[in-house]
Amino acid sequence: MGLPFLGVGLSYRWDLNPHLARGNPGVDWLEVTPEQFLPLTPDSERRLDLLAKRYPLVGHSLELSVGSDGADAPGYREGLRRITQRTKSVWHGDHLCFTRVGDLPLRALTPVPLTDEAVATCVRNVRAAQADLGVPFVVENIAYLFHTPLNTLDEADFLRRVVEGADCGLLLDLHNVYCNAANHGFDPYAFLDRLPLDRVVQIHLAGGVTMEGLRLDSHSAPSPDEVWRMLEYVAPRCPVRGVNFEMDSDFPPFARLVEELARARAILQRCGASAA
Protein backbone atom coordinates (compact mmCIF):
# COMPACT_ATOMS: atom_id res chain seq x y z
CA MET A 1 0.00 0.00 0.00
CA GLY A 2 3.01 2.32 0.25
CA LEU A 3 1.93 3.65 3.64
CA PRO A 4 4.22 5.69 5.91
CA PHE A 5 5.71 4.16 9.04
CA LEU A 6 3.99 5.80 12.01
CA GLY A 7 5.80 4.10 14.89
CA VAL A 8 4.00 3.49 18.19
CA GLY A 9 0.87 5.21 19.40
CA LEU A 10 -2.24 5.18 21.54
CA SER A 11 -5.94 4.85 20.98
CA TYR A 12 -7.31 8.28 21.85
CA ARG A 13 -9.63 8.42 24.83
CA TRP A 14 -10.98 11.53 26.54
CA ASP A 15 -9.33 10.43 29.82
CA LEU A 16 -5.96 10.80 28.08
CA ASN A 17 -6.68 14.19 26.56
CA PRO A 18 -4.79 16.25 29.18
CA HIS A 19 -1.63 14.30 28.31
CA LEU A 20 -2.13 14.37 24.53
CA ALA A 21 -3.66 17.72 23.57
CA ARG A 22 -0.31 19.52 23.71
CA GLY A 23 1.68 16.71 22.14
CA ASN A 24 3.78 14.08 23.90
CA PRO A 25 7.23 12.92 22.82
CA GLY A 26 6.51 9.35 23.87
CA VAL A 27 3.51 9.03 21.53
CA ASP A 28 4.14 8.93 17.77
CA TRP A 29 0.54 8.80 16.50
CA LEU A 30 -3.07 8.37 17.58
CA GLU A 31 -5.87 6.04 16.61
CA VAL A 32 -9.15 7.96 16.73
CA THR A 33 -12.59 6.38 17.08
CA PRO A 34 -14.94 8.60 15.02
CA GLU A 35 -17.96 7.67 17.14
CA GLN A 36 -16.39 9.70 19.96
CA PHE A 37 -16.72 12.83 17.81
CA LEU A 38 -20.01 12.23 16.01
CA PRO A 39 -22.20 14.05 15.31
CA LEU A 40 -19.64 16.66 14.36
CA THR A 41 -20.08 19.95 16.19
CA PRO A 42 -17.86 23.04 16.35
CA ASP A 43 -16.42 21.69 19.61
CA SER A 44 -15.68 18.19 18.28
CA GLU A 45 -14.19 19.68 15.11
CA ARG A 46 -11.95 21.90 17.23
CA ARG A 47 -10.77 18.89 19.26
CA LEU A 48 -10.06 16.88 16.11
CA ASP A 49 -8.17 19.78 14.54
CA LEU A 50 -6.01 20.10 17.64
CA LEU A 51 -5.12 16.41 17.64
CA ALA A 52 -4.39 16.46 13.90
CA LYS A 53 -1.93 19.30 14.41
CA ARG A 54 -0.03 17.27 17.03
CA TYR A 55 -0.04 13.75 15.60
CA PRO A 56 -0.65 11.64 12.50
CA LEU A 57 -4.14 10.18 12.92
CA VAL A 58 -5.69 6.88 11.90
CA GLY A 59 -9.44 6.22 12.02
CA HIS A 60 -10.87 3.16 13.76
CA SER A 61 -14.65 2.96 13.60
CA LEU A 62 -17.11 0.60 15.25
CA GLU A 63 -20.27 0.63 13.14
CA LEU A 64 -19.46 -0.04 9.48
CA SER A 65 -20.73 -3.61 9.98
CA VAL A 66 -18.66 -5.01 7.12
CA GLY A 67 -19.96 -8.51 7.86
CA SER A 68 -23.58 -7.75 7.05
CA ASP A 69 -25.73 -5.80 4.63
CA GLY A 70 -27.32 -3.76 7.40
CA ALA A 71 -28.06 -0.12 6.66
CA ASP A 72 -25.81 2.54 8.19
CA ALA A 73 -27.31 4.85 10.78
CA PRO A 74 -28.50 8.06 9.04
CA GLY A 75 -25.53 10.28 8.20
CA TYR A 76 -23.00 7.85 9.66
CA ARG A 77 -20.86 7.20 6.62
CA GLU A 78 -20.88 10.86 5.63
CA GLY A 79 -19.67 11.69 9.15
CA LEU A 80 -16.84 9.17 8.79
CA ARG A 81 -15.90 10.68 5.44
CA ARG A 82 -15.82 14.20 6.88
CA ILE A 83 -13.64 13.12 9.80
CA THR A 84 -11.29 11.16 7.53
CA GLN A 85 -10.85 14.16 5.25
CA ARG A 86 -10.60 16.69 8.06
CA THR A 87 -7.91 14.78 9.95
CA LYS A 88 -6.06 13.56 6.83
CA SER A 89 -6.34 10.05 8.24
CA VAL A 90 -3.45 7.89 7.04
CA TRP A 91 -5.68 4.83 6.82
CA HIS A 92 -8.97 3.69 8.32
CA GLY A 93 -9.97 0.50 10.07
CA ASP A 94 -12.99 -1.34 11.35
CA HIS A 95 -13.72 -4.81 12.67
CA LEU A 96 -14.34 -8.00 10.71
CA CYS A 97 -17.76 -8.54 12.25
CA PHE A 98 -21.32 -7.29 12.01
CA THR A 99 -22.89 -4.65 14.22
CA ARG A 100 -26.22 -4.12 12.45
CA VAL A 101 -29.02 -6.34 11.17
CA GLY A 102 -31.12 -4.39 8.71
CA ASP A 103 -31.82 -1.10 10.47
CA LEU A 104 -31.23 -2.61 13.92
CA PRO A 105 -27.99 -1.70 15.74
CA LEU A 106 -26.63 -4.55 17.87
CA ARG A 107 -24.16 -2.46 19.95
CA ALA A 108 -21.74 -5.39 19.89
CA LEU A 109 -18.94 -6.70 17.68
CA THR A 110 -20.68 -9.89 16.58
CA PRO A 111 -18.69 -12.63 14.79
CA VAL A 112 -19.76 -13.42 11.26
CA PRO A 113 -20.35 -17.00 10.15
CA LEU A 114 -17.16 -18.22 8.52
CA THR A 115 -18.62 -19.17 5.14
CA ASP A 116 -18.06 -18.50 1.46
CA GLU A 117 -21.14 -16.28 1.44
CA ALA A 118 -19.80 -14.20 4.33
CA VAL A 119 -16.44 -13.82 2.58
CA ALA A 120 -18.25 -12.37 -0.42
CA THR A 121 -20.29 -10.00 1.78
CA CYS A 122 -17.22 -8.76 3.66
CA VAL A 123 -15.20 -8.30 0.47
CA ARG A 124 -18.00 -6.29 -1.11
CA ASN A 125 -18.50 -4.10 1.95
CA VAL A 126 -14.81 -3.48 2.59
CA ARG A 127 -14.30 -2.46 -1.02
CA ALA A 128 -17.27 -0.09 -0.77
CA ALA A 129 -16.06 1.42 2.51
CA GLN A 130 -12.58 1.95 1.14
CA ALA A 131 -14.00 3.69 -1.94
CA ASP A 132 -16.40 5.81 0.14
CA LEU A 133 -13.74 6.98 2.60
CA GLY A 134 -11.00 7.51 0.04
CA VAL A 135 -8.17 6.08 2.16
CA PRO A 136 -6.59 2.64 2.53
CA PHE A 137 -8.66 0.31 4.69
CA VAL A 138 -7.72 -2.31 7.29
CA VAL A 139 -9.91 -4.95 8.94
CA GLU A 140 -9.38 -6.20 12.48
CA ASN A 141 -9.67 -9.76 13.79
CA ILE A 142 -12.07 -9.74 16.75
CA ALA A 143 -12.29 -11.65 20.03
CA TYR A 144 -15.25 -14.04 20.06
CA LEU A 145 -16.81 -16.21 22.74
CA PHE A 146 -18.70 -18.71 20.58
CA HIS A 147 -18.51 -20.58 17.29
CA THR A 148 -21.51 -20.59 15.01
CA PRO A 149 -22.56 -24.01 13.65
CA LEU A 150 -22.77 -22.38 10.23
CA ASN A 151 -18.95 -22.19 9.96
CA THR A 152 -17.41 -23.98 7.00
CA LEU A 153 -14.03 -22.19 7.11
CA ASP A 154 -11.61 -21.55 9.92
CA GLU A 155 -10.75 -18.01 11.05
CA ALA A 156 -7.28 -17.84 9.50
CA ASP A 157 -8.58 -18.91 6.09
CA PHE A 158 -11.49 -16.51 6.39
CA LEU A 159 -9.23 -13.56 7.23
CA ARG A 160 -6.92 -14.36 4.35
CA ARG A 161 -9.73 -14.63 1.82
CA VAL A 162 -11.29 -11.35 2.93
CA VAL A 163 -8.14 -9.21 2.90
CA GLU A 164 -6.91 -10.68 -0.37
CA GLY A 165 -10.34 -10.48 -2.01
CA ALA A 166 -10.90 -6.90 -0.86
CA ASP A 167 -7.25 -5.93 -1.49
CA CYS A 168 -7.08 -4.30 1.94
CA GLY A 169 -4.82 -4.44 4.97
CA LEU A 170 -5.02 -6.44 8.18
CA LEU A 171 -5.21 -4.83 11.61
CA LEU A 172 -3.79 -7.64 13.73
CA ASP A 173 -5.05 -7.44 17.31
CA LEU A 174 -2.72 -9.63 19.33
CA HIS A 175 -4.75 -9.54 22.52
CA ASN A 176 -7.75 -10.78 20.56
CA VAL A 177 -5.62 -13.68 19.30
CA TYR A 178 -4.53 -14.33 22.89
CA CYS A 179 -8.14 -14.32 24.13
CA ASN A 180 -9.38 -16.63 21.40
CA ALA A 181 -6.50 -19.06 21.88
CA ALA A 182 -7.13 -19.18 25.63
CA ASN A 183 -10.89 -19.55 25.30
CA HIS A 184 -10.96 -22.02 22.41
CA GLY A 185 -7.80 -24.00 23.05
CA PHE A 186 -5.59 -23.41 20.02
CA ASP A 187 -1.93 -22.53 19.52
CA PRO A 188 -1.71 -18.75 18.88
CA TYR A 189 1.61 -19.05 17.06
CA ALA A 190 0.30 -21.68 14.65
CA PHE A 191 -2.63 -19.34 14.05
CA LEU A 192 -0.32 -16.39 13.37
CA ASP A 193 1.70 -18.48 10.94
CA ARG A 194 -1.43 -19.08 8.86
CA LEU A 195 -2.43 -15.43 8.60
CA PRO A 196 -1.63 -13.23 5.57
CA LEU A 197 1.14 -11.48 7.49
CA ASP A 198 2.22 -9.66 4.34
CA ARG A 199 -1.05 -7.70 4.69
CA VAL A 200 -0.46 -6.51 8.27
CA VAL A 201 -0.53 -2.71 8.38
CA GLN A 202 -1.33 -2.13 12.05
CA ILE A 203 -0.99 -4.09 15.28
CA HIS A 204 -3.13 -3.60 18.37
CA LEU A 205 -1.81 -4.26 21.86
CA ALA A 206 -4.22 -4.41 24.77
CA GLY A 207 -4.97 -6.16 28.03
CA GLY A 208 -7.98 -7.61 29.72
CA VAL A 209 -9.28 -9.77 32.53
CA THR A 210 -10.09 -13.41 33.15
CA MET A 211 -13.55 -14.02 34.62
CA GLU A 212 -15.23 -17.38 35.27
CA GLY A 213 -12.62 -19.11 33.15
CA LEU A 214 -12.96 -16.82 30.14
CA ARG A 215 -10.40 -14.33 28.92
CA LEU A 216 -12.10 -11.03 28.07
CA ASP A 217 -10.78 -8.28 25.82
CA SER A 218 -11.80 -5.54 28.25
CA HIS A 219 -9.04 -3.03 27.43
CA SER A 220 -8.64 -2.48 31.16
CA ALA A 221 -5.09 -3.63 31.89
CA PRO A 222 -1.55 -3.61 30.48
CA SER A 223 -0.71 -6.25 27.89
CA PRO A 224 0.09 -9.67 29.37
CA ASP A 225 3.52 -11.17 28.77
CA GLU A 226 2.20 -13.57 26.13
CA VAL A 227 1.01 -10.65 23.98
CA TRP A 228 4.50 -9.16 24.14
CA ARG A 229 5.97 -12.50 23.09
CA MET A 230 3.57 -12.57 20.14
CA LEU A 231 4.67 -9.07 19.13
CA GLU A 232 8.31 -10.19 19.24
CA TYR A 233 7.36 -13.15 17.07
CA VAL A 234 5.21 -11.44 14.48
CA ALA A 235 6.85 -8.01 14.03
CA PRO A 236 9.81 -9.33 11.99
CA ARG A 237 7.41 -11.27 9.79
CA CYS A 238 5.16 -8.45 8.61
CA PRO A 239 5.41 -4.96 7.06
CA VAL A 240 3.71 -3.28 10.05
CA ARG A 241 3.30 0.49 9.70
CA GLY A 242 2.07 1.23 13.21
CA VAL A 243 1.59 -0.39 16.61
CA ASN A 244 -0.80 1.09 19.14
CA PHE A 245 -2.02 0.32 22.64
CA GLU A 246 -5.76 0.31 23.38
CA MET A 247 -7.15 1.09 26.84
CA ASP A 248 -10.69 2.06 27.78
CA SER A 249 -10.79 2.01 31.58
CA ASP A 250 -8.72 1.63 34.76
CA PHE A 251 -6.02 3.83 33.28
CA PRO A 252 -2.63 3.68 35.00
CA PRO A 253 -0.47 6.80 35.37
CA PHE A 254 0.23 8.13 31.90
CA ALA A 255 3.95 7.48 32.32
CA ARG A 256 3.10 3.76 32.54
CA LEU A 257 1.41 3.91 29.13
CA VAL A 258 4.45 5.65 27.69
CA GLU A 259 6.58 2.80 29.07
CA GLU A 260 4.38 0.32 27.18
CA LEU A 261 4.97 2.30 23.99
CA ALA A 262 8.72 2.42 24.60
CA ARG A 263 8.75 -1.36 24.96
CA ALA A 264 6.89 -1.75 21.66
CA ARG A 265 9.19 0.78 19.99
CA ALA A 266 12.25 -1.20 21.06
CA ILE A 267 10.78 -4.38 19.60
CA LEU A 268 10.12 -2.66 16.28
CA GLN A 269 13.63 -1.25 16.23
CA ARG A 270 15.17 -4.66 16.91
CA CYS A 271 13.30 -6.23 14.03
CA GLY A 272 14.18 -3.40 11.66
CA ALA A 273 10.74 -1.85 11.23
CA SER A 274 11.18 1.74 10.12
CA ALA A 275 10.19 4.38 7.65
CA ALA A 276 12.42 2.74 5.06
Average pLDDT, the chain: 95
The more confidently predicted of residues 2 and 247 is 247
* Helix (H) or strand (E) run with residue 254 in it: helix 254-270
Residues above pLDDT 90, as percent of the chain: 92
pLDDT at 155: 96
- Name the β-bridge partners of 169: 138
Residues 128 and 94: beta-carbon distance below 8 Å: no
SS3 44: helix
pLDDT at 238: 97
pLDDT at 79: 97
Give the pLDDT band of residue 100 (cuts 50, 70, 90): very high
As a whole number, mean pLDDT of residues 72-84 equals 95
Residues above pLDDT 70, as percent of the chain: 99
pLDDT at 276: 41
pLDDT at 69: 87
Residues 208 and 145: beta-carbon distance below 8 Å: no
pLDDT in tens, 116-170: 999 999 999 999 999 999 999 999 999 999 888 899 999 999 999 999 999 999 9
SS3 204: strand
pLDDT at 71: 85
Which CATH number is correct for 7-20+27-271, 3.40.50.620, 3.40.50.300, 1.10.3720.10, 3.20.20.150? 3.20.20.150
275 pLDDT above the threshold of 60: no
Give the pLDDT band of residue 272 (cuts 50, 70, 90): confident
Torsion (CA) 89, 95, 98, 103 in degrees, nearest 10: -20
Strands 137-140 and 92-95: parallel
Give the pLDDT band of residue 1 (cuts 50, 70, 90): low
Sequence-distant (6+) residues with CB within 8 A of 265 are 7, 8, 28
Q: How far apart are CA 107 and CA 229, in angstroms?
A: 32
pLDDT in tens, 13-41: 999 999 999 899 999 999 999 999 999 99
Of 99, 29, 30, 34, the closest CA to residue 60 belongs to 34
